[in-house]
Amino acid sequence: MKFTSKKERWGAKKNSRVQLAVVMLFAIGAGLMVFNFASTRKISADANAAPKAFVMTLPKGLPADLYKELIPKDNPMTAEKIALGEKLFFDKRLSVDNTVSCSTCHDPATAMADSNMVGIGIENKKGARNSPSVFNAMFNEAQFWDGRAPSLEEQSKLPIINSLEMGMKDHPQVVAKVKGLSEYAPLFAAAFGNEGITIDTIAKAIASFERTQLSGNSPFDRFMAGDKKAISEAAKRGWDLFNNQGRCISCHAFNESTPFFSDFKFHNIGVAAKDQNFAALARRARSFGSDNLKAVDELALSPGFSELGRYLVTKQPKDIGAFKTSMLRDVELTAPYMHNGSEKTLLDVIKFYNKGGELNPNLDGGMRPLKLTDPQMDDLVEFLKTLTSDDTRRRMKSVKPQTRAPFPK
Ligand code: HEC
Ligand code: HEC
């Protein structure tokens, strides 16, 4: 099997599915607004105005059908909600000491991730896991490395009250704090009418903003659309290795309808197996009564327990040390790698795979030594670099890195 271009692989598909940009309308009221990032800061705060229709242009390579399908029925996109969500995402006052926002760890200047090994929250507290990018997170079948949150809405409620991240005590405290910030009342009224400020409307707004954070339009997308010159010969050899000798495609699945390089399943590839006594950890995790999401969320970021991965969610021994297959778009820009940030460069990642991962009792059956030569490993890296979005690169150049407010002693 050898795939060289989208045309060959998807030759039978009809043309309409290869449209470059697809306009999506979520029209609730009258009026039309073309959404762009510059406009989101100034939003109408008039509660009586009809919610604005929202137009989203998808970047090249992303599936419009799936995008539409993944907008929850009870949380349609509106310009007001997206703008409110963006403001919340960047607001440090959502943390207990006003020092950290979502964007501290998901920074547009770092492809909506950060460059630390693990997330660093209030008082410079370290969690045990690497911050993934928020780009395309809306396409995840479940959120987090272990899939413990089913949706972006549920996901966004957790970091705010995680003791190592934003540190608020509980959701009532979060709601009370946002209610105390006077500029928010009219913005929530415009976005949610009578629903007002609740943890659910906060979450819905943040999730709506995240659904505008997309990454496509990469050299690889142009290559798949038929531009043979869009990627180098080395990258083409790398794409072939990705599909064949490297066996990457078996987990980092790619097809036209889900072009994200993930099967969204959980595999133990051995990253967590370094220095772990899984059986002892699992026994201790069970004794923690991790029945509610908040408890699992705290365990997930704790050293040791973190390495149990999917097991924390399912309590199935087969899931010990298993983590969600990462999506690979923009991967060049989001070092270090893996759930614990243990691999510094893409070449380090490939070397890890080349030796067959780290042996342990739960190692995924798909992992085995690959016998790739040094030039072949370089080709794979060249291929991975073709997944970098032109838009992401441009945006990274145009924004200043987020700053962390110094925490009060
Ligand atoms: C202190 C750093 C930090 C802060 C603050 C933070 N995050 Fe994260 N975020 C992380 C880390 C680390 C993970 C992975 C944790 C895990 O999987 O257990 C993550 C995971 C996610 C994911 C899942 C992505 C995926 O591919 O599974 C989303 C979405 C997300 N964060 C959005 C947010 C939002 C929204 C906020 C603010 C309400 C926020 N984050 C605040 C560090 C942070
Ligand atoms: C058996 C399934 C499987 C196979 C085969 C596989 N991967 Fe992965 N990949 C994963 C999982 C699961 C993770 C996350 C693991 C973790 O952090 O513990 C991952 C993580 C990665 C990451 C890190 C992404 C990030 O943002 O941290 C890269 C890069 C990567 N894989 C590339 C590849 C390449 C290239 C190949 C082929 C040589 C490959 N993978 C083969 C399942 C797989």
Q: Are residues 93 and 181 in the same domain?
A: yes
Q: How far is the CA of 324 from the centre of ligand 2 (A)?
A: 9
Residue 53: band (very low, low, confident or very high) from pLDDT cuts 50, 70, 90: low
pLDDT in tens, 116-157: 999 999 999 999 999 999 999 999 999 999 999 999 999 999
Residue 115 within any structural domain of the chain: yes
Active-site residues, by number, are 165
Residue 49 has what pLDDT?
Answer: 59
From ligand 2's centre to the CA of 375, what distance in Å? Answer: 20
Q: Taking residues 183-211, what's their average pLDDT?
A: 97
What pLDDT is stored for residue 409 in this prediction? 61
Mean pLDDT computed over 287-296: 78
* Structural domain of 207: 23-57+70-217+392-409
Atom of ligand 1 nearest to the CA of 89: 37
pLDDT of 364-404, one tens digit each? 999 999 999 999 999 999 999 999 999 999 999 999 999 98
Q: Which residues pair with 32 in a beta bridge?
A: 53
At 233-246, the pLDDT tens digits run 999 999 999 999 99
In this structure, are 234 and 319 located in the same domain?
A: yes
129 C-beta closer than 6 A to ligand 2? no
- CA 105 to ligand 1 center in whole angstroms: 7
Q: Quick one: pLDDT at residue 15? A: 36
Q: Are residues 360 and 401 in the same domain?
A: no
Span from the CA of 158 to the centroid of ligand 1 (angstroms):
9
pLDDT of residue 249: 98
Rounded distance, CA 91 to CA 87, Å?
6
Same domain assignment for residues 278 and 409: no
Confidence at residue 73, expressed as pLDDT on a 0 to 100 scale: 94
Q: Which of 106, 122, 133 to mutate to test the pocket of ligand 1 (most atoms within 8 A of CB)?
A: 106
- Assess whether 85 and 213 both reside in one domain: yes
- Closest among 334, 310, 342, 313 to 324, alpha carbons compared: 310
Tokens of 122: 């209030």
Distances (CA, A) of 397 to 33, 365, 403: 26, 41, 16
| Residue 176 Cα distances to 155, 228, 351, angstroms | 20, 56, 50
User: How far is ligand 1, taken at its centre, from the CA of residue 57, in Å?
Assistant: 25
What's the average model confidence in pLDDT over 64-69? 95
State yes or no: pLDDT of 41 exceeds 60: no
Confidence at 11, pLDDT banded by 50, 70, 90: very low
**Same domain? 114 vs 43:** yes
Q: Are 83 and 43 in contact (CB under 8 A)?
A: yes
Q: Please tell me which residue, 376 or 32, carries the higher pLDDT value.
A: 376
pLDDT of residue 9 exceeding 50, the answer is no
Which burial class, exposed, middle or buried, applies to 394 when counting CB atoms under 10 A from its CB (0-12, 13-18, 19+)? Answer: exposed
Does residue 63 form part of some domain? Answer: no
Q: Does the pLDDT of residue 330 top 80, yes or no?
A: yes
E-strand spans in 195-309?
266-267
Helix (H), strand (E) at residue 186: helix 184-192
If one counts the domains in the chain, the total is 2
Query: Same structural domain for residues 28 and 171?
Result: yes
Nearest-CA residue for ligand 2 atom 39 is: 248
As a whole number, the mean pLDDT across the chain is 88
Q: What is the mean pLDDT of residues 32-50?
A: 43
User: What's the pLDDT at 276?
Assistant: 74
- The confidence band for 279, taking pLDDT boundaries of 50, 70 and 90, is confident
Work out the average pLDDT over 218-229. 97
Average pLDDT over residues 212-229: 98
For residue 326, name the pLDDT band (cuts at 50, 70, 90).
Answer: very high
**Residue 7 pLDDT:** 34
2 in any annotated domain = no
- Do 103 and 184 share a domain, yes or no? yes
Question: Does a structural domain hold residue 287?
Answer: yes
Q: How confident is the model at residue 54 (pLDDT cuts 50, 70, 90)?
A: confident
pLDDT at residue 405 is higher than 90? no
Atom of ligand 1 at shortest range from CA of 104: 5
Please indicate, yes or no, if residue 123 is contained in any of the structural domains.
yes
128 vs 125: CA distance, rounded Å = 10
pLDDT for position 289 = 64
Rounded Cα distance, 324 and 109, in Å: 25
1 within domain boundaries: no
Residue whose CA is at the smallest distance from ligand 1 atom 20: 144
Of residues 14 and 305, which shows the higher confidence score? 305
Same-domain check for residues 317 and 374 = yes
Sequence-distant (≥ 6) Cβ neighbours of residue 195 within 8 angstroms: 188, 201
Could you tell me the CATH number of the domain that includes residue 278? Answer: 1.10.760.10
On whether both 175 and 236 belong to a single domain, the answer is no
Which ligand has an atom closest to residue 116 CA? 1
Would you say the CB of residue 269 lies under 6 angstroms from ligand 2? Answer: yes
The tens digit of pLDDT for each residue in 296-323 reads 999 999 999 999 999 999 999 999 999 9
Which ligand gives the minimal distance to the CA of 319?
A: 2
Do 38 and 110 lie in one domain? The reply is yes
At 19, the pLDDT band (50, 70, 90 cuts) reads: very low
Query: Global pTM?
Result: 0.90
Q: Is 403 helix (H, G, I), strand (E, B) or coil?
A: coil
pLDDT at res. 42: 41
Our answer on whether the CB atom of 322 is closer than 6 Å to any ligand 1 atom is no
pLDDT at 16 over 70: no
Pocket flag, ligand 1, residue 140 (CB < 6 Å)? yes
What's the confidence (pLDDT) of residue 286? 82
Is ligand 1 within 6 A of the CB of residue 335?
no
Residue 302 lies inside a defined structural domain of this protein: yes
Residue 51: predicted pLDDT: 66
Q: Is the dihedral of CA 268, 145, 298, 149 positive or negative?
A: negative
Domain contains 281: yes
Q: Is 157 in the pocket of ligand 1 (CB under 6 A)?
A: no
* Helix residue ranges per DSSP H, 11-78: 64-69
Q: Are residues 234 and 170 in the same domain?
A: no
pLDDT of residue 274: 73
